């Protein structure tokens, strides 16, 4: 039983590291329609071109900052499957473990029995220092870090840390007319994500063996950011999809399971040392195209798309559309070339997975709110 008890104690019952190769194979781990073979065996397969992968096959003591909401849920499962000892550091607001849609009881219980929980507030830096120092971890996955100062106590507490794997964001790139964004491109020190930039800089300056992953828009079952959910709500109600301006803005979605896989691939990988990687889908998509892809995924008819000029409306503090109104996409060539990371889900496949395992079952994070839609549609009705 995963430690869920109150207070700051860490369960010590699971200090023995299970040996790596013993886990059963071909479990359909929450893949829905996709069946995957055990990751153990995948490790031995020659990586696609470019990956001189020095695989660290030994089991590690891993700390995940976060891990109970979205990315971390998928990542921590894979880490446990790989035979690592995984501790999730969270405040405990979300349940430490929850069964995934489509996950067998057997798989869930196997996971639940192995995952460890360290309850605390990562902003309580003294607590972070002492508790981490007491435990000692080989690797840290920082999934929810926002500011550089949050990272310092972790690094200070773990002088023998083998690797710090950070979930950054492609939002750090400076807006440009020349696209896609590449890892070598200029970043924007004034962006909303400057905390991520400062964290990357801190990791670099401290000489830590870090790897920073920059996703674009993440999607998939359990997404708490209303990305695909925003479209699904409207499609379900047979409502038109209001898209700002031309609908030609190009963006990019990356499936959470591909992201989790990427996080696994960089673990113990020498090539990834002190490197930054864009991780997202293999193709980009226009806003209009995304509406159509969501419709396909959910088996809805072709949507009616309404374009509008956002400047003509006052939405108050409500967001009328879930994406930045600009081109925003990044090349994933570097991860592909250097580490052999190839996204598995195409956009429609991935959206179908998300629909089948989440929205299509009646679950979602944010209730439908068509206030801004009605403002837009109301005005259109008046004019026509």
Q: Residue 249, interface with other proteins (CB under 8 A)? A: yes
| CB 151 within 8 Å of CB 202 | yes
Nearer to other proteins, 53 or 90 (CB): 53
CB nearer to other proteins: give 337 or 369.
Answer: 337
**Using CB under 8 A, which of the segments 13-21, 123-131, 332-340, 366-374 binds other proteins?**
332-340
CB nearer other proteins, residue 38 or residue 245 = 245
Region for 274 from its dihedrals, namely left if φ exceeds 0, alpha if ψ lies in -120 to 50, beta otherwise: left
How, if at all, do strands 210-215 and 163-167 pair?
parallel
Looking at residue 308, what DSSP letter applies?
A: E
Distances (CA, A) of 11 to 2, 90, 262: 8, 15, 29
- Residues 151 to 190: which contact other proteins by CB under 8 A? 176-180
Of 30-38, 236-244, 245-253, 308-316, the segment contacting other proteins by CB under 8 A is: 245-253
Q: How far is CA 128 from the centre of its chain?
A: 23
* 381 lines the binding site for other proteins (CB under 8 A): no
Rounded to the nearest whole angstrom, what is the least distance from the CB of residue 231 to other proteins in the complex? 13
Integer CA distances (angstroms), 257 to 36, 72, 227, 261, 324, in order: 12, 10, 16, 6, 23
Residue whose CB is less far from other proteins, 76 or 249: 249
Q: How many residues of this chain bind other proteins (CB under 8 A)? A: 31
User: For residues 11 and 47, which CB has a smaller minimum distance to other proteins in the complex?
Assistant: 47
CB 374, min distance to other proteins, A: 22
Q: Which of residues 9-68 bind other proteins (CB under 8 A)?
A: 48-50, 52
Contact pick of 347, 351, 375, 376 for other proteins (by CB under 8 A)? 347
Tokens of residue 63, six digits: 């700390």
Phi, psi of 14 (to 5 degrees): -120, 45
Q: Which stretch binds other proteins (CB under 8 A): 1-9, 114-122, 298-306, 328-336?
A: 328-336
Query: Binding other proteins by CB under 8 A: which of 242, 292, 339, 354?
Result: 292
User: Is residue 366 left, alpha or beta, with left meaning phi > 0 and alpha meaning psi from -120 to 50?
Assistant: beta
Which one of the spans 32-40, 136-144, 325-333, 372-380 is the region binding other proteins (CB under 8 A)?
325-333
Residue of 117, 103, 158 lying closest to 358 (CA atoms): 103
Longest CA span, the chain: 71
User: Which run of H or E residues covers position 61?
Assistant: strand 61-65
Residue 317 makes CB contacts below 8 A (sequence gap 6+) with: none
Among 28, 225, 331, 372, binds other proteins (CB under 8 A): 331
In 3D space, the residue among 42, 82, 89, 84 whose CA is nearest the CA of residue 67 turns out to be 89
Task: State the binding string over 270-289 for other proteins (x if CB under 8 A, else -).
Answer: -------------xxxx-xx
- Chain residues binding other proteins by CB under 8 A are 48-50, 52, 176-180, 245-246, 248-250, 283-286, 288-290, 292-293, 327, 331, 333-334, 337-338, 347, 383
């Amino acid at each position: 039983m995963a430690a869920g008890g109150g207070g700051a104690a860490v369960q010590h019952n699971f200090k023995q590291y299970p040996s790596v190769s013993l886990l059963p194979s071909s479990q359909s781990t929450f893949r829905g329609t996709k069946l995957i073979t055990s990751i153990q065996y995948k490790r031995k397969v020659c990586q696609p071109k470019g990956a001189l992968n020095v695989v660290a096959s030994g089991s590690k003591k891993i700390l995940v900052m976060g891990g109970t909401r979205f990315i971390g849920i998928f990542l921590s499962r894979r880490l446990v499957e790989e035979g690592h000892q995984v501790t999730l550091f969270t405040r405990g607001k979300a349940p430490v473990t929850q069964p995934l849609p489509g996950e067998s009881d057997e798989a869930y219980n196997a996971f639940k029995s192995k995952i460890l929980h360290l309850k605390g507030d990562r902003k309580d830096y003294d607590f972070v220092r002492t508790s981490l120092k007491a435990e000692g971890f080989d690797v840290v996955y920082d999934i929810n870090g926002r500011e550089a100062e949050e990272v310092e106590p972790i690094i200070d507490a773990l002088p023998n840390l083998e690797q710090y794997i950070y979930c950054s964001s492609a939002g750090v790139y400076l807006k440009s007319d020349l696209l896609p964004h590449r890892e070598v491109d200029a970043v924007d020190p004034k962006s909303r994500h400057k905390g991520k930039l400062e964290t990357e800089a801190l990791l670099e300056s401290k000489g830590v063996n870090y790897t920073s992953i920059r996703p674009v828009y993440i999607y998939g079952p359990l997404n708490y950011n209303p990305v695909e959910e925003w479209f699904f709500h409207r499609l379900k109600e047979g409502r038109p999809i209001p898209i700002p301006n031309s609908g030609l803005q190009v963006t990019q979605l990356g499936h959470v399971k591909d992201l989790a896989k990427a996080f696994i691939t960089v673990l113990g990988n020498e090539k990834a040392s002190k490197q930054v990687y864009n991780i997202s889908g293999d193709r980009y998509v226009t806003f209009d195209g995304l509406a159509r892809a969501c419709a396909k995924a959910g088996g809805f008819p072709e949507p009616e798309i309404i374009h509008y000029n956002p400047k003509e409306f006052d939405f108050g503090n409500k967001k009328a559309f879930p994406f930045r109104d600009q081109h925003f996409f990044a090349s994933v060539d570097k991860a592909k070339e250097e580490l052999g990371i190839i996204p598995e889900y195409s956009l429609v496949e991935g959206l179908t997975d998300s629909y089948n395992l989440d929205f299509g079952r009646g679950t979602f994070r944010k209730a439908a709110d068509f206030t801004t839609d009605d403002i837009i549609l109301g005005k259109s009705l008046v004019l026509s």
